[in-house]
Structure 1
Amino acid sequence: DTELNTLCTPFGDVVSAKVITDHFSGQTKGFGFVEMSSRPEGHKVMEGLNGTEVSHRKLICNEAKPQKKKGARRR
């Protein structure tokens, strides 16, 4: 979380940064979420970091999509 926050700070104010980890092993799942204080700052992060390499892994930066509501299934 700290490394992700540090990566994004040059682009603006980081509200939150969270690397997602496996509940059982504690290993990272290879993705995370960053919330910036404004949409333009979020776009700066995506433009500035997309395609860069960190810890031998290429970053792919996208805007998160809202989760779809899971409704009752019809039969």
Structure 2
Amino acid sequence: MSVYVGNLSYQATQDGLTQAFSEYGTVKRVQLPTDRETGRMRGFAFVEMGTDAEEDAAIEALDGAEWMGRDLKVNKAKPREDRGSSQGGWDNRGGSRRY
């Protein structure tokens, strides 16, 4: 499991997030997703910590805290939902799905 960090400054870095979260435990990995077309950071990150207790401590301390001029939104990351659908409708190419 990992921690979702939202409302990040676009100047946030992996090193900066690692430093901020390392006060609450071992940081295993930091992901800063970027926009595919522009390469610009998307304003959120995922931080993987060593234990659930460390994640909980970071969430407790950093949710709502100001960092780089912004109030952070920090919580447990939710599993990624499958964007595919087996229901009828329009596909992303503008055509109707056939069954």
TM-score w.r.t. structure 2 length? 0.67
The total of aligned residue pairs comes to 75
Unpaired runs of at least 5, structure 1: none
One-letter code of the match for 1:61?
A: V
Structure 1 runs of 4+ off > 6 angstroms? none
Structure (1 or 2) with the greater helix fraction: 1
Alpha-carbon separation, structure 1, partners of 2:36 and 2:82: 23
Which structure's relative contact order is higher, taking Cα pairs within 8 Å and 6+ residues apart? 2
Alpha-carbon separation, structure 2, partners of 1:56 and 1:21: 20
The structure number with the bigger radius of gyration is: 2
CA RMSD of aligned residues (A): 1.5
Unpaired runs of at least 5, structure 2: 1-13, 89-99
Instruction: Find the partner of 1:15 among 25, 28, 31.
Output: 28
Over 3 Å counting, the alpha-carbon distance change for 1:26 and 1:47 in structure 2 is same
